[in-house]
Amino acid sequence: MRILLVEDDPEVCRFVAKGLREAGHVVDPVDTARDGLFLAASESYDVIVLDRMLPGGMDGLRLVETLRATGSRVPVLFLSALAQVDERVRGLKAGGDDYLTKPFAFAELLARIEALGRRSRGEAPLTRLAAGDLEMDLLARTVRRSGQAIDLKPREFRLLEVLLRHAGQVVTRTMLLEAVWDYHFDPQTNVIDVHVSRLRQKVDRGFAYPLIHTVRNAGYMLRAEG
Amino acid sequence: MRTAEPREDKGQGEPSWRLIRSIGFRIAALHAALMALSAGGLIAVLWWNTAGYLDREVERGLRGDLAEFRAHHRAGGLAALAAAIETRIAEDADTESVFLLLDAAGAKRAGNLDAWPPFLGPETEAGEGPLTRDGIETTVRLRVLFLADGARMLVGRDVGARRQLQALVADSLVYGLALAVVLAASGGVLVAQVLARRTAPLLATAAAIGEGNLARRVPLSGNDDEFDRLAKSFNGMLDRIAELMEGVRQVSNAIAHDLRTPIARTRSGLEAILRGATEAEELKSGIERGIEELDRVIALFQALLRIAEIESGARQSAFAPFDLAQAAEDAAALYEPLAEAKAIRLEIKAPAALPVVGDRDLIAQAVANLLDNATKFTPAGGTIQLSVAAGEGWADVAVTDSGPGMTEAERRRAAERFYRAEASRSSPGFGLGLALVKAVAALHGGTITLSNRSNAPGLVATLRLPMRPLPRHSIRSLDPTHHV
């Protein structure tokens, strides 16, 4: 994917650009909204990662508003230290598609960027998901592994579905809470871990190799080969 | 009309005193003016009905006499008129009436006066003046009748006694009015003094608070009057401020301790790796531990900021109708595997649906925190009950555990930020769970109540929400012993 990164903090900028390049993306980093707007208007990007507070009189919100006024629909992810709900709402109202607050885990940023990129490519709705010997039929709501039917409760099904849709990518606990439970808070105890371990009991136990992996300090990843 | 200059308000005590004085002065002045006005009205009515009545009686009598004598003259000429006058004089027992008839030549034809009084001019028709009758100085009111044949007569009444009476009435009225004004002014001064005396404790307390003595409260007079009510609400406000200050103090203490500790640990951990680690693997795991520690700090920060955000009321704009029963069941479903892993039974008792207005996400987080606590304190093999019930205008979400419960003192402090009861010291957590529940409850105009189970060990945490949306802080618990 081609990603425009507008971030004035050189440390964060270098860190994000390096990580995204390592993940196989092309990154154009700029440090002012003016440069960002110029590039966004003249080049074609899959995703724009945008800081809210930028130097030079123009902030991230203005950039998005201006960009949207020109008819551009390129997905925008806000990356900001402004964490309050009304700040998030302002960002999304201005035309942003996602909002991640600093400090953040790089894995989460990557996962969200890739999700946005996929959305913008407008892939046809899937009816079947698969990874390795695991198959999920979204219409019949059934799951099979090595041809053997696995009986899942609705929440477990949804959890596995989210992991499968992001197969090969890290999915953070926050993302799982949002996607499966529609909760936008972090519980005191990591209840997600218990749900995932329960899912593992059904999906991985007794099979040749594990599919659900824990990624330290980040979250979970479903991938077919160890 | 301001007597105190607001622009001069630099100090706190003196200009306020001047303002109070000026209000007192204005009350006194207004009071006196109103009293004078009402006394004046009374006097006007009194005068009209006494002195004015006497004058009108005299005038009526004079007009009647004139009409009568004009008729006699028309019927019988001057002679008949003179006869009629003599008859009236003879009949007049109290000798109040005065008559004099002069013919065209100016000679007296009848009457009890000797000469035309000097204060009446030749053409004057009516008048009042001094007259000496039978050697006595008196006042008479006269009317003159000019007759067609050139003769003229005057009819009068001795009004000396009436004038004396009127003077007496006028004197009494003036003295009365003066007395009324004096009384009103002293009443006003009294009111002003009472006002100053009753506001003095309030001002003294405010001044003391301003100087930093935050423990001062306004003493109550015990009369339960307006000033006591003002003092009570003033004290209530001070209590609230003290509560908030205490919260800030707690938070800064907690930040000093709870935040510094993990940061210090991370720092020394990283330093140790920098100095000691030689293997790449060792470095990597050390840095991972560092990130874990920092994530804890970030999570703590986020929890604190979220509570602050909720307490600021900024999230009330996100209020919408939702099903409380469903939200509670969802939260229970989130914790069910955790409970099961600890061999705890999670029982749910909820109606089919219970619509409320609020922030679903926050309520879910509050219920999740209550369940989180319950799972922490309930021993293996225990039971947690989550019940949702609707009362009169209220909806209750109660979480009952079979843990050790809490002492009275612990229950009181449970919702303070970073407070952790003795039993929870060893379990993970920041001690912010109930603080958040309390903030969520307050945002919705509800309460969170902790109590011990009556028949078995365990704690009951009840989140009570109003069924209709209410403004923030409109309901504050008045009973501090059980509400937290």
Asked if B98 and B142 touch (Cβ cutoff 8 Å), the reply is yes
- The average pLDDT across A110-131 equals 79
pLDDT digits (tens, 9 = 90+) for B331-349: 999 999 999 989 999 999 9
Q: Is B212 left (phi over 0), alpha (psi -120 to 50) or beta?
A: left
The yes-or-no verdict on residue B414 having pLDDT over 80 is: no
Residue carrying structure tokens 């001690």: B431
Q: Cβ–Cβ of A186/B433 closer than 8 Å?
A: no
Higher pLDDT, A80 or B258: A80
d(CA B270, CA B287): 7
Residue carrying structure tokens 């997600």: A192
Any bridge partners for residue B144, and if so which?
B154
The yes-or-no verdict on residue B28 having pLDDT over 80 is: no
| pTM for the full predicted model | 0.61
Enumerate the residues of chain B whose CB falls inside 8 A of the CB of residue A86.
314, 317
Amino acid sitting at position B463: L
d(CA B312, CA A224): 47
Distances (CA, A) of B275 to A195, B234, B269, B413: 40, 60, 10, 43
| Residue A134 pLDDT level (bands cut at 50, 70, 90) | very high
The yes-or-no verdict on residue B95 having pLDDT over 80 is: no
Closest of B176, B181, B222, B218 to residue B200, by C-alpha: B218
Parallel, antiparallel, or unpaired for β A47-51 and A2-6?
Answer: parallel
Q: Which of A189, A195, A196 is the best residue to mutate to test the B interface, defined by the most B CB atoms within 10 Å of its own CB? A: A189
- The average pLDDT across B18-22 equals 54
Closest of B324, B328, B389 to residue B356, by C-alpha: B324
Give the long-range contacts of residues A19-28, CB within 8 A, separation 24 or more: A19/A106, A19/A109, A19/A110, A20/A110, A20/A113, A23/A110, A25/A1, A25/A113, A26/A1, A26/A2, A27/A3, A28/A2, A28/A3, A28/A4
State the smallest CA–CA distance between residue A184 and chain B in angstroms.
7
| Residue A144 pLDDT level (bands cut at 50, 70, 90) | very high
pLDDT of the residue at B328? 93
Going B341 to B347 to B351 to B354, the CA torsion angle's sign is: negative
pLDDT of the residue at B427? 60
Q: Cβ–Cβ of A85/B315 closer than 8 Å?
A: yes
pLDDT of the residue at B284? 87
Chain B residues with CB under 8 Å of a chain A CB are: 288, 291-292, 294-295, 298-299, 302-303, 305-306, 309, 314-315, 317-318, 330, 333-335, 337-338, 341, 361-362, 364-365, 368-369, 372, 375-376, 428-430, 432-433
Asked if B430 and B418 touch (Cβ cutoff 8 Å), the reply is yes
Which residue of A181, A183, A198 is in closest CB contact with B337?
Answer: A198
d(CA B385, CA B398): 8
- The average pLDDT across A126-130 equals 85
pLDDT of the residue at A212? 94
d(CA B213, CA B194): 26
pLDDT of the residue at B343? 93
Retrieve residue B321's tokens. 């109708």
Retrieve residue A197's tokens. 């371990």
d(CA B85, CA B66): 11
Residue carrying structure tokens 């604190």: B304
The yes-or-no verdict on residue B148 having pLDDT over 90 is: no
Q: Cβ–Cβ of B375/A189 closer than 8 Å?
A: yes
Residue B25 contacts by C-beta under 8 Å, 6 or more apart in sequence?
B3, B192
Enumerate the residues of chain B whose CB falls inside 8 A of the CB of residue A105.
295
- The average pLDDT across B312-339 equals 86
Closest of B141, B144, B152 to residue B125, by C-alpha: B144
Report the chain A residue with the minimal C-alpha distance to residue B312: A84
pLDDT digits (tens, 9 = 90+) for B374-399: 998 899 999 999 999 998 889 999 99
State the smallest CA–CA distance between residue B378 and chain A in angstroms.
15
| Residue B21 pLDDT level (bands cut at 50, 70, 90) | low
Q: What is the DSSP string of B130-150?
A: EEEETTEEEEEEEEEEE-TTS
The yes-or-no verdict on residue B19 having pLDDT over 70 is: no
Q: Cβ–Cβ of A188/B335 closer than 8 Å?
A: no
Sheet holding A134-137, edge to edge: A128-131, A134-137, A142-145, A148-150
Q: B157 phi and psi, to 5 degrees?
A: -130, 140
- The average pLDDT across A142-148 equals 92
The yes-or-no verdict on residue B484 having pLDDT over 50 is: no
Give the long-range contacts of residues B377-381, CB within 8 A, separation 24 or more: B377/B401, B377/B403, B377/B404, B377/B423, B377/B424, B377/B459, B378/B339, B378/B342, B378/B344, B378/B402, B378/B403, B378/B458, B379/B403, B380/B342, B380/B343, B380/B344, B381/B343, B381/B344
Element at A106 (helix H, strand E): helix A106-121
SS3 B32: helix
State the smallest CA–CA distance between residue A83 and chain B in angstroms.
9
pLDDT of the residue at A120? 67
Retrieve residue B176's tokens. 């009365």
Q: A187 phi and psi, to 5 degrees?
A: -65, 155
Residue B409 contacts by C-beta under 8 Å, 6 or more apart in sequence?
none
Write down all domains in chain B, each with its CATH number in brackets.
13-216 (no CATH), 246-311 (1.10.287.130), 314-470 (3.30.565.10)
| Residue A149 pLDDT level (bands cut at 50, 70, 90) | very high
The yes-or-no verdict on residue B2 having pLDDT over 70 is: no
Helical axes B280-311 vs B260-276, angle rounded to 10°: 170
A155 touches chain B (CB under 8 A): yes
Retrieve residue B371's tokens. 């369940």
Higher pLDDT, B419 or A105: A105
Q: Cβ–Cβ of B429/A189 closer than 8 Å?
A: yes
Asked if B104 and B131 touch (Cβ cutoff 8 Å), the reply is no
Enumerate the residues of chain A whose CB falls inside 8 A of the CB of residue B429.
188-189
The yes-or-no verdict on residue B477 having pLDDT over 70 is: no
Closest of B177, B162, B159, B129 to residue B50, by C-alpha: B162
C-alpha B107 chain-centroid distance: 84
The rounded percent of chain B whose pLDDT value lies above 90 is 15
Query: By CB neighbour count within 10 A (0-12 exposed, 13-18 middle, 19+ buried), where does B93 fall?
Result: exposed
Enumerate the residues of chain B whose CB falls inside 8 A of the CB of residue A184.
361
Asked if A27 and A49 touch (Cβ cutoff 8 Å), the reply is no
The yes-or-no verdict on residue B468 having pLDDT over 70 is: no
pLDDT of the residue at A161? 93
Sheet holding B136-146, edge to edge: B108-111, B97-102, B152-158, B136-146, B126-133
The rounded percent of chain B whose pLDDT value lies above 70 is 89
Asked if B67 and B81 touch (Cβ cutoff 8 Å), the reply is no
Enumerate the residues of chain A whose CB falls inside 8 A of the CB of residue B313.
none
- For chain B, what is the mean pLDDT? 81
Q: For chain A, percent helix, then strand, then coil, each to nearest 5?
A: 40, 20, 35
Q: Cβ–Cβ of B317/A84 closer than 8 Å?
A: no
Q: Which of A185, A195, A202 is the best residue to mutate to test the B interface, defined by the most B CB atoms within 10 Å of its own CB? A: A185
pLDDT of the residue at B85? 87
Enumerate the residues of chain B whose CB falls inside 8 A of the CB of residue A186.
299, 302-303
Amino acid sitting at position B394: W
State the smallest CA–CA distance between residue B292 and chain A in angstroms.
6
- The average pLDDT across B140-149 equals 85
pLDDT digits (tens, 9 = 90+) for A163-218: 998 888 888 888 899 889 888 888 877 899 999 999 999 999 888 899 999 988 78
| Residue A55 pLDDT level (bands cut at 50, 70, 90) | confident
Which residue of B318, B330, B372 is in closest CB contact with A189?
Answer: B372
Which residue of A181, A189, A217 is in closest CB contact with B291?
Answer: A217
Q: Cβ–Cβ of B429/A191 closer than 8 Å?
A: no
d(CA B37, CA B39): 5
d(CA A66, CA A95): 10
pLDDT digits (tens, 9 = 90+) for B174-222: 888 888 888 887 887 888 788 888 888 888 998 998 888 888 888 888 8
Q: In this complex, how many residue pairs, one in chain A and one in chain B, have their CB atoms less than 8 Å apart?
A: 67
| Residue B5 pLDDT level (bands cut at 50, 70, 90) | very low
Any bridge partners for residue B97, and if so which?
B157
pLDDT of the residue at B396? 93
Q: Cβ–Cβ of B365/A86 closer than 8 Å?
A: no
- The average pLDDT across A152-170 equals 90
A216 touches chain B (CB under 8 A): yes
A86 touches chain B (CB under 8 A): yes
d(CA B186, CA B191): 9
Asked if B434 and B373 touch (Cβ cutoff 8 Å), the reply is yes
Higher pLDDT, A39 or A124: A39
- The DSSP secondary-structure symbol of B219 reads P
d(CA B310, CA B70): 101
State the smallest CA–CA distance between residue A70 and chain B in angstroms.
30
The yes-or-no verdict on residue B1 having pLDDT over 90 is: no
State the smallest CA–CA distance between residue A86 and chain B in angstroms.
8
d(CA B365, CA B339): 17
Asked if A176 and A220 touch (Cβ cutoff 8 Å), the reply is yes
Report the chain A residue with the minimal C-alpha distance to residue B307: A84
